[in-house]
Amino acid sequence: MTSQFLRKAPLSTLLTVLLLISSFPASLAQADPAPVTSGAWQCWNSNQVNPCRHHLADVALLPTGEGWAVGGMPGHGTIFHWMEHDGAWQEAPNPASTGLAAVDALSPADAWAVSDLGDMLHWDGQAWTQQRPFTTLRLTAVSMVASDDVWAVGYVFWQRYWALMAHWDGSAWTDITVAGVNQRLSALDMLTTADGWAVGAQGVIVRWNGGAWASVASPTTAWLKGVDMVTPNDVWAVGAEGTILHWNGSQWTPVASSTTADLTSVSMLSATDGWAVGGGGVMLHWNGSAWQAMTGPTTGGLLAVDLLPGAVGWAVGSGGTRLQWDGNTWTAPDGEMRVDHLRAVHMRTGQDGWAVGDNGAILHWNGATWTRVAAPTTAGLRGVHMLAANAGWAVGDAGTILRWNGAAWTQVPAPTSKQLNAIAMLSDSDGWAVGAEGTILHWDGQVWASVASPDSHSLFALDMVSASAGWAVGAQSTALQWDGSAWQMLLPPAAEDLRGVDMLSAADGWTVGRHLTVAHWDATRWTQVVNPANLDLVGVRMISATDGWAVGNWVGANQFFHWNGSGWTEAPTPSSWIITALDMVSATNGWAVGENGALLRYIPPPAPVSFLPFVPAVSATSVPVGPASWPDDVERGKQALGPRVPAVTQAAGLPRWRTEA
């Protein structure tokens, strides 16, 4: 109908339609997630495979030198193709709308992938296509015996969990339930058309005998997450808390494990050679008599491993971790860093920046690349502040305080063992740190000392303007001010946790927090200028009175907001893991960091995308917009209107409830 209308419409009408279409905001016209290279914020480095560090949940290799890795995140599925002769992974077009859970390949022209939302994707040598999706099923594993003999396992939930199997006979998928098994199935391996195993929650184990799936006695109640068959009489299963089981042809028995970490996958080359991987980057090797813990190159969670004879193997996992086995050593591809959650970032200049995070992670930016720097601790780091190229500080869990001298990070004694969340340094002889239970510390150039706090709520963020002016914010809307002699409580801007604070001067600053809390400091008090919604804001960084950024997240998705002096607008955001902090060097240069090693770089967009939520039509005359007695007038206005979505764009820092005629 649309094409007929366009062919028959007068030229003036067509021009009007085109103008109307072009005037719609991009956020309304485009429902799909923004690609990596679009918008203001981009996953770094965009020319690398998987720059947004999406999880890789499974890997399958072929003797032909090809392989597949799949994963992703909610709303974004990821498929990577390995070609050994190229020595590189390349992303493949993916028809699934969510993360993928498992993949198996039979030949270069025959592979299957499945998802937790029931997606079933088939590779025919040219493209991945979506087969009939089982929208009510949760698929967790897939194993191919032949092109017309493929099994997938998972679960359904009808008041309780039920194990489920799905079979492909070459033309259609058939659902098969397993009698009496009311647990989720997590892993599957088929050796022949008449022999296969599946394992899952509560230690459940089921076997295929060529005609039916039947439950088999299990010696554990631990969640089993991986299974691999060497022969019908030599099968291994691994699971939670380092659980390892072996099948000898007649029964399953526990085998001694050298770890208590969750094991997620196992791949056996022979009766005397195999690997198991799991949480925290744990890697175990089977030598025919014992499973031995081996030192791996990552602390990120490993979710899958697959090996082939001839010293070929890959392990994949959280944050896009990819490790290659060459027969002697596991190594990460060139330029790939260890995956850790990043908690804070501070950019001193465009060529000198630092990010810190879990497991003592410290990363340095030199203007061209991020590199990992050795840390004297494995404690989680949550705050960092650099004074100069040869002077900086970081703080973190259990009272950890680190100092940078230009050559190395060293640990400094602390007067507390409580978690420290933020640090702000004014000079080599004047600095502050805040943390759990209202902890406040001061640096005088010689030692860190505890300072009296007027509140016991945890403090999450801190900013100092001068030796006599500073602000700290925290849980349950805690807001403190330093006046040069003591920290004092301030009237809170909202009844929410405050997660970020940034001050341009003693008379101009911002704080952000849960439920879209944004408040402005005007030298005497905090005034909330964006009213509560669902978004949780976690960081704010102001460049000037007319230029600043805030970042937040909701249900696993990030959102960046830009301040232009009169209102906040939403910026396009790539599909990335949760962002925890951001810092701006200038109006055109900034970084954000987050979970699973996420690193996002700010690139100025061609044009911002306005955040304009629609609300039902109401009378504009009933809404107070003046500054007279905020927040009382606004509260009365809200009561008159009933529940409404507040406009994000504000003018002159005053509350404005947008209405539509």
pLDDT band for position 571 (50/70/90)? Answer: confident
| Cβ within 8 Å of residue 165, ≥6 positions away | 151, 152, 153, 175, 176, 177, 178, 185, 198, 213
CA 319 to chain centroid, in Å, comes to 7
- Residue 258, φ and ψ in degrees, nearest 5: -100, 20
Q: State the pLDDT at residue 159.
A: 59
Q: Please report, as a single letter, which amino acid is at residue 497.
A: D
359 phi-psi bin (left φ>0, alpha ψ -120 to 50, beta other): left
Output the six-digit token pair for 150.
């493929």
Torsional sign, CA 555, 560, 563, 567: negative
Check residue 651 and report its DSSP letter: B
Q: State the pLDDT at residue 216.
A: 96
Q: Please report, as a single letter, which amino acid is at residue 339.
A: V
Bridge partners for 77 per DSSP: 72
Pick the residue with more confidence: 463 or 136?
463
Say what the pTM is: 0.77
Collapsing DSSP states into helix, strand and coil, what is residue 374? coil
Alpha-carbon gap, residue 109 to 624, rounded angstroms:
65
Of 501, 550, 281, 226, the closest CA to residue 383 belongs to 501
Alpha-carbon gap, residue 583 to 539, rounded angstroms:
9
Q: State the pLDDT at residue 137.
A: 77
Collapsing DSSP states into helix, strand and coil, what is residue 236? strand
Q: Please report, as a single letter, which amino acid is at residue 539.
A: G
Q: State the pLDDT at residue 643.
A: 35
Bridge partners for 207 per DSSP: 197, 214
Q: Taking residues 46-67, report their average pLDDT.
A: 90
Q: State the pLDDT at residue 390.
A: 97
Output the six-digit token pair for 279.
């949480």
Segment 372-420, tens digit of pLDDT: 999 999 999 999 999 999 999 999 999 999 999 999 999 999 999 999 9
Output the six-digit token pair for 653.
């820092």
Collapsing DSSP states into helix, strand and coil, what is residue 148? coil
| Cβ within 8 Å of residue 443, ≥6 positions away | 393, 425, 429, 430, 431, 432, 433
Segment 303-336, tens digit of pLDDT: 999 999 987 899 999 989 999 999 999 998 876 7
Torsional sign, CA 650, 655, 660, 661: negative
Q: State the pLDDT at residue 619.
A: 33
Residue reference for tokens 């014992």: 290
The H or E element containing residue 41 is strand 41-43
Segment 74-97, tens digit of pLDDT: 778 899 999 988 888 999 998 887
481 phi-psi bin (left φ>0, alpha ψ -120 to 50, beta other): beta
268 phi-psi bin (left φ>0, alpha ψ -120 to 50, beta other): beta
Q: Is the pLDDT of residue 584 over 60?
A: yes
Residue 104 contacts residue 143 (beta carbons within 8 Å): yes
The count of other CB atoms within 10 Å of the CB of residue 86 is 10
Q: Is the pLDDT of residue 661 over 80?
A: no
Q: What percent of the chain has pLDDT over 90?
A: 67
Alpha-carbon gap, residue 525 to 357, rounded angstroms:
33
Collapsing DSSP states into helix, strand and coil, what is residue 546? coil
Torsional sign, CA 286, 291, 297, 301: positive
The count of other CB atoms within 10 Å of the CB of residue 294 is 14
Segment 1-39, tens digit of pLDDT: 333 333 333 333 333 333 333 332 332 222 333 333 334
Q: State the pLDDT at residue 252.
A: 98
Q: Is the pLDDT of residue 365 over 90?
A: yes
Residue reference for tokens 């998928």: 173
Q: Taking residues 353-373, report their average pLDDT.
A: 95
- Residue 103, φ and ψ in degrees, nearest 5: -150, 150
Of 263, 270, 252, 240, the closest CA to residue 197 belongs to 252
CA 230 to chain centroid, in Å, comes to 35
Alpha-carbon gap, residue 123 to 68, rounded angstroms:
10
Output the six-digit token pair for 511.
């704080």
What is the rounded average pLDDT for all residues in the chain?
A: 85
Residue 61 contacts residue 308 (beta carbons within 8 Å): yes
| Cβ within 8 Å of residue 194, ≥6 positions away | 208, 209, 210
Alpha-carbon gap, residue 118 to 485, rounded angstroms:
61
Q: Is the pLDDT of residue 495 over 90?
A: no
Output the six-digit token pair for 247.
């099948």
Of 198, 110, 197, the closest CA to residue 146 belongs to 110
Segment 181-223, tens digit of pLDDT: 889 999 999 999 999 999 999 999 999 999 999 999 999 999 9
**What Rg do the C-alpha atoms of the chain give, in angstroms?**
28
